[in-house]
Amino acid sequence: MDVFLILLLMITCAVMFLFFQNKFYSLRKQILFLSKQNNTMRHKTNKNIIIKYSSLNFKYGLTRGNCSLNLAPIDESLIVCTLQRNTTIDIINRADVNGQIWYEVSVFSRERINNQGWIKATQILFPEIATQISTF
């Protein structure tokens, strides 16, 4: 009986060892793949960014839907926070970045943490547009 228990314990240990070794190699393979993909994406970023600032047409607006408040006016930028639909925003600046219009905005926040960043123009509903929509 003792021999049987020892044999069962050894077989169980061997199976567990093979299982975890297989898991380890699959995770290692995934990490290598993601690392390579990360390096590839990092080198693809556009190094030549042209920012053309222009005058503002509006001082405030609303977000069209849930949207990201970016740290910089580029798509690959870090996200400062996510804004809910119809969030009131104060518009600080307007910039044309490589053919896309972005607005630097500020959002009311008591803590004044992560409350300023950039949003694409397509994500903003301006006062005259909001008035037209509400009259329908």
Architecture of domain 51-134: Roll (2.30)
Using an 8 Å Cβ cutoff, are 66 and 82 in contact? Answer: yes
pLDDT in tens, 23-81: 999 999 999 999 998 888 777 766 678 889 999 888 889 999 899 999 999 888 889 99
Residue 86 to residue 61: CA distance in whole angstroms: 9
Q: What is the pTM of this model?
A: 0.61
**Cα dihedral across residues 67, 73, 79, 83: positive or negative:** negative
